[in-house]
Amino acid sequence: MLRSTLAGSYPRVSDAPLPVNLRQMLHKHDRREISDAELEHAYEATITRIVNEQESAGIDLLTDGQIRWDDLLTPITRQLDGAKPGGLLRYFDNNVYYRHPVIQGPIRWRGPATVDDYRTAAGATRRPVKAVLPGPITYAVLAEDRAYKNFEMLARAVSEALHQEALALQEAGAPLIQIDEPALGGQPARLALARACMETIARGLKTKVGIATYFKPVQEIWTGLRAFPVQVWQVDVADRPAQLDMVLNAPPDGEVVFGCMDARNTRLEERDTLARTLERATDRLGADRVWASPNAGLEFLPHATAQKKMARLAEAVGAVNGRTAGTAAR
Amino acid sequence: MKLLQTTSVGSFPKPDYLVSARNLYAKSQLSREELGELEKKATREVIALQERLGLDILVDGEMERGDMTAFFAEQLEGMGISGLVRSYGNRYYRKPIVVGPIRRVKPMTVPMYQFAQSLTEKPVKGMLTGPYTMTDWSFNEHYPSRRDTILAFAQVIREEAEDLQRAGARYIQIDEPALSTRPDELPVAIEAMHIVTDGLKAKTISHMCYGDFDTIYPGLLELPVQQLDLEAANNDFALIELIRKHPFTKEIALGVVDSHDHRIETKDEVVAGIHRALEVLRPEQVWIDPDCGLKTRSWQEAERKLAVIVEAANQVREELSKKPKPAKAR
Ligand SMILES: [Zn+2]
């Protein structure tokens, strides 16, 4: 059966009133009007709300929404010896910012960065929840390396740390650990290194490992990328429709998450357009190997739009599955 | 001609009374007229400050603008404003949405330009946001492609530029901070800028920042403006090395103090920066200014940063006047 998932992030605040207004709670915490414990409660309540919203929209594989993440890299950076968050820079071709990691010494993993929120999300639903981590190539591309002064050494050191984090997530029950490599499409010369890094991260893991690409085109690297030692590949086919044929002409040996909905534009996709794309994928790969997803984290959108898009995605998946079921019954 | 003329990029910090007034206005507790009076008061202060410091080319400080894209979006037909999207951390903004054909109903920047120019004998720059950046920082629900959107914005910005020129503006700056985000789109950004600037008599300038300039340089020199306003201080004058490799063929307004850092640069630091620039640029080519708009600085920081710029430019100008002119033929 064709299933749906989200790419990772999810809007944490809304224009509509919410039971817990995280934005306000953070302001209050800054002004010391609420305690750490109260803020913690607000975070947990927000994760639970986001999990519930995904569930009621009909998403199959959920995320915790990354509501504590200021950006893709900082949660990991804060848990690494040898790295600290630096100044704000523009995040790829988005009008949002990230703190670039400043590497000051040997990278060492101090302890889990993402496991608590993972457990909160998994505890709030009976559906599976996936875990998401930044990829080592993206991390090294966006970092300011004052210590190794060597891209490969930095990427390998980060991979070792991510391996530790992945083990902790596996122990917490994550059925899929998704490694986000938005920068990889722009780094064709580093594909072999990226592959070696993925081997490091996935070493000895029993749970599934996936690689997610977005923002940059991956046509140039697809031949190598599809042979990576992972079980799941996420590819943008919304902003880059040519990548649908790219995958269908040379599918990897595993599951593919088709980013068929644009997470960076408010225009709502038609259900039938989505369904047609997904049907092409299921016809070629078999429904069990296909996932429908936005092409990136939904946090680029206002909350109300994200909700509509998520519901539309689930509708399209339902339509495809309905038709397939109809065919099977005949 | 005066060498090393000093200017600023555009925005100034809003005085506290204006920040409070904008909040009240947003809550409908203050009328548009009352807010407008305070915007004028602040503009008078911005002009007076620049005159006192001895800057050569002035700006109005953008006291009536919140965000450099939303300000235009709010006044253009065919545009709306989204719900909250995250910029970074706990900071959110509302992003423009193109919902229909973009049309200009009335001049958007001319009244404030005229007001500011009426306060001073020195030239005040007309300030616009470029078509590429307007597109890149908006959602698009209407036009079929990014290119169509960019060209539609170019048309209305052209109309505005003509009105500014008619109102007496001798300098028109069309900011394109997003220009380096997708290097493959540089040709369409250039095409759009032709629509905006071709045939204008005013001196045209474009500011860009947060850039990976190496990805668009020297192609950037094809942008049809006479002057590029670029940041140098916040990346340790890396730009100079780029120019050393490929000569700069336009005028440059060189950012010699970091607009996003609280620290006030010393005069010696700024002088050293200008000296570095003059290794690869002719003094006739160079204007001196901060890296970027000053709206995120405090009023005192903005004042002190601009004061250092003027002092440093004065010193280097003095040195240049004492240096014997190199013999033409040797
Ligand atoms: Zn700027």
B88, B92, B181 member nearest A13 (Cβ): B92
Rounded mean pLDDT of B307-321? Answer: 97
CB contact under 8 A, A305 and B89: no
pLDDT for res B330: 44
pLDDT for res B326: 63
What's the Rg (C-alpha) of chain B?
Answer: 20
Question: Over the stretch B103-118, which tens digit does the pLDDT of each residue have?
Answer: 999 999 999 999 999 9
Q: Which chain A residue shows the shortest CA-CA distance from B137? A: A95
Is B140 touching A (CB cutoff 8 A)? Answer: yes
B83, B137, B141 member nearest A303 (Cβ): B83
Is 90 exceeded by the pLDDT of residue B308? yes
Is B97 touching A (CB cutoff 8 A)? Answer: yes
Helix/strand/coil (H/E/C) assignment for every residue in chain B? CCCCEECCCCECCCCHHHHHHHHHHHCCCCCHHHHHHHHHHHHHHHHHHHHHHCCCCECCECCCCCCCCHHHHCCEEEEEEEEEEEEECCEEEEEEEEEEEEEECCCCCHHHHHHHHCCCCCCECEEEECHHHHHHCCEECCCCCHHHHHHHHHHHHHHHHHHHHHCCCCEEEEECCCCCCCHHHHHHHHHHHHHHHCCCCCEEEEEECCCCHHHCCCHHHHCCCCEEEEECHHHCCHHHHHHHHCCCCCEEEEECCCCCCCCCCCHHHHHHHHHHHHHHCCHHHEEEECCCCCCCCCHHHHHHHHHHHHHHHHHHHHHHHHCCCCCCCC
N- to C-terminal Cα separation, chain A: 17
Domains of chain A are 3-329 (3.20.20.210)
Rounded mean pLDDT of B315-326? Answer: 88
| Residue B91 belongs to a domain | no
Is 90 exceeded by the pLDDT of residue A327? no
Q: Is A82 helix (H, G, I), strand (E, B) or coil?
A: strand
A11, A70, A93 member nearest B88 (Cβ): A70
CATH number at residue B262: 3.20.20.210
Q: pLDDT confidence of A326, banded at 50, 70, 90?
A: low
A contacts of B83 (beta carbons < 8 Å): 14-15, 302-305
The rounded percent of chain B whose pLDDT value lies above 90 is 91
Q: Which chain B residue shows the shortest CA-CA distance from A24? A: B90
Q: Compute the mean pLDDT over every residue in chain A, rounded to the nearest whole number.
A: 96
Is 50 exceeded by the pLDDT of residue A112? yes
Is 70 exceeded by the pLDDT of residue B168? yes
DSSP A96-142: -EEEEEEEEEEEEE-S-SSHHHHHHHHHT-SS-B-EEEE-HHHHHHH
pLDDT for res B325: 66
Is 80 exceeded by the pLDDT of residue A324? no
| Residue B85 belongs to a domain | no
| Residue B22 belongs to a domain | yes
The rounded percent of chain A whose pLDDT value lies above 70 is 98
Closest listed residue to residue B273, CA positions, set B294, B260, B259, B290: B290
CB contact under 8 A, B139 and A266: yes
Interface test with A, best of B139, B145, B149 (most A CBs within 10 A): B139
Is 90 exceeded by the pLDDT of residue B187? yes
| Residue B228 belongs to a domain | yes
Q: Compute the mean pLDDT over every residue in chain B, rounded to the nearest whole number.
A: 95
Query: B144 CA distance to ligand 1 centroid (A)?
Result: 29
Q: Number of A:B CB contacts under 8 A?
A: 65
CB contact under 8 A, B84 and A302: yes
Is 50 exceeded by the pLDDT of residue B4? yes
pLDDT for res A235: 98
In angstroms, rounded to a whole number, what is the distance separating the alpha carbons of residues B241 and B155? Answer: 36
Please report, as a single letter, which amino acid is at residue B44: R
In angstroms, rounded to a whole number, what is the distance separating the alpha carbons of residues A281 and A61? Answer: 18
| Residue B79 belongs to a domain | no
Query: B234 CA distance to ligand 1 centroid (A)?
Result: 11
Q: Which chain B residue shows the shortest CA-CA distance from A98? A: B88
| Residue B248 belongs to a domain | yes
| Listed range (B163-177, B228-242, B243-257) with the worst mean pLDDT | B228-242
A90, A265, A305 member nearest B140 (Cβ): A265
Is 50 exceeded by the pLDDT of residue B329? no
Question: Over the stretch B55-97, which tens digit does the pLDDT of each residue have?
Answer: 999 999 999 999 899 999 999 999 999 999 999 999 999 999 9
Query: B12 CA distance to ligand 1 centroid (A)?
Result: 12
Query: B291 CA distance to ligand 1 centroid (A)?
Result: 7
A87, A96, A266 member nearest B86 (Cβ): A96
B85, B140, B210 member nearest A301 (Cβ): B85
Question: Over the stretch A212-236, which tens digit does the pLDDT of each residue have?
Answer: 999 999 999 999 999 999 999 999 9
CB contact under 8 A, A15 and B84: yes
The rounded percent of chain A whose pLDDT value lies above 90 is 95
pLDDT for res A329: 47
Rounded mean pLDDT of A29-55? Answer: 97
Is B146 touching A (CB cutoff 8 A)? Answer: no
Tokens (6 digits) for B37? 């009076």
Distance, in angstroms, between A26 CA and closest chain B CA? 7
Query: B176 CA distance to ligand 1 centroid (A)?
Result: 8
Domain count, chain B: 1
In angstroms, rounded to a whole number, what is the distance separating the alpha carbons of residues B110 and B127? Answer: 9
Rounded mean pLDDT of B11-37? Answer: 96
Rounded mean pLDDT of A1-22? Answer: 96
pLDDT for res B225: 98
Is B87 touching A (CB cutoff 8 A)? Answer: yes
CB contact under 8 A, A15 and B182: no
Distance, in angstroms, between B93 CA and closest chain A CA? 10
Distance, in angstroms, between A207 CA and closest chain B CA? 31
| Listed range (A41-55, B208-222, B303-317) with the worst mean pLDDT | B208-222
Q: pLDDT confidence of A100, banded at 50, 70, 90?
A: very high
What is this structure's pTM?
A: 0.92
Is 70 exceeded by the pLDDT of residue B319? yes
Q: Which chain B residue shows the shortest CA-CA distance from A144? A: B235
Is 60 exceeded by the pLDDT of residue A25? yes
CB contact under 8 A, B182 and A93: yes
Q: Is A202 helix (H, G, I), strand (E, B) or coil?
A: helix
Q: pLDDT confidence of A173, banded at 50, 70, 90?
A: very high
| Residue B93 belongs to a domain | no
| Residue B57 belongs to a domain | yes
Residue predicted with more confidence, B214 or A66:
A66
Query: Containing domain of residue B199, as a range?
Result: 5-67+101-322
